[in-house]
Amino acid sequence: MKVTLTGTGSPIPDANRAGPSTLVQCAGQNILIDCGRGVAMRLVAIGVPAPFVSAILITHLHSDHITDLNDVITTHWVMTGIETPLNVYGPPGTQTVVDGILMMLAPDISYRLAHHTDTLTYKPNVVVTEVKPGATFAIGDVQVRVARTHHQPVEPTVAFRLEHDGKSVVLGGDGIPCDTLDEICAGADAYVQTVIREDLVKLINNKRFQDILDYHSTVEQAAQTATKAGIKKLILTHYVPSMQPGQEEEWRAFAAKYFAGEIVLGDDLTTTTI
């Protein structure tokens, strides 16, 4: 099982970090979790362009997690030689979002169909499955479990646990510690969590920015969740404020106060194997 941070940024644009997204590869599947800005380019950089994505899992419908879903849909459509469904799993409301994206893309779709009359004879085929906490499903031989997370007032938000051949990884999405997150993390090999640095956020005298403190896990909270659940490897992403070059060990130290296992963080395309 291979985990790649295909986007470690946040809603704040960063020249060096794409928006939130993570790619999990196992059992011949390329499973993309969330679709932040620039994800289609990051996928190409690791040799997994959009047509090779097996499925997309959406943790919640905040804009920074779905900004480039439209790009993945379009690229998957035009670069695939035959009509191939793109499977998208997400919380209730995902179908409405995808319908809106396809409506927005309608002029582009009509232009491409009119121009490529011999080779493109079908519209994008996006199959949405809305999932609720407690749901289970499979992507090939990969088993997926769904749990509720706490990111209010964003509702619903979910975490996904992917399992195959005795290995498991939990994708926590945004949110703060809660019992259901603890439950789905219990005993997992790895846990991917979006994090903020509370000390740095408090230095910025902006009420709207400081409002994020009450619904995002801090680095320390992510570490505490990992320790409580018996996680072996903690993978941090979605750094707010953006982690600057040379700050990696500083961020790692905040987590290491509460978690004794392996801590993975870094730039986009950071990869680890479970």
Catalytic residue among 34, 64, 68, 268: 64
* Longest distance between any two alpha carbons in the chain, whole Å: 61
What domain range is 185 assigned to?
2-270
Q: 208 with 165: CB under 8 angstroms? A: no
Whether residue 64 lies in the annotated active site: yes
Run of H or E including 107? helix 106-115
Nearest by Cα to 70 from 98, 46, 93: 98
Q: How does the average pLDDT of the chain come out, rounded? A: 96
Three-state secondary structure call for residue 51: helix
* Torsion angle defined by CA atoms of residues 63, 101, 17 and 7, in that order, rounded to the nearest 10 degrees: 90
For residue 67, name the pLDDT band (cuts at 50, 70, 90): very high
CATH of residue 262's domain is: 3.60.15.10
Question: Helix, strand or coil for residue 101?
Answer: helix
Predicted pLDDT at 232: 98
DSSP secondary structure letter of residue 128? E
Query: What pLDDT score does 202 carry?
Result: 86
How much is the pLDDT for 77? Answer: 97
3 state SS for 209-273: HHHHHHCCCEHHHHHHHHHHHCCCEEEEEEEECCCCCCCHHHHHHHHHCCCCCEEECCCCCCEEE
Q: What is the pLDDT of residue 198?
A: 87
Q: Using one digit for the tens of pLDDT, what is the confidence trace for 182-231?
A: 999 999 999 999 999 988 888 888 888 878 888 899 999 999 999 999 99
Structurally, the chain folds into a number of domains equal to 1
* Residue % of the chain over a pLDDT of 70: 100
Separation between Cα atoms, residue 20 and residue 6, nearest integer Å: 7
Least confident residue range of 38-47, 93-102, 120-129, 198-207: 198-207
Report whether 30 contacts 48 (CB < 8 A).
yes
The pLDDT tens digits of the residues spanning 5-32 come to 999 999 999 999 999 999 999 999 999 9
Give the other-Cβ count within 10 Å of 40's Cβ.
Answer: 24
Kindly list the distances between the CA atom of residue 154 and the CA atoms of 68, 186, 207, 220, in Å, as whole numbers in the listed order: 19, 24, 19, 22
Query: Is the pLDDT assigned to residue 139 strictly greater than 90?
Result: yes
- Per-residue pLDDT at 259 exceeds 90: yes
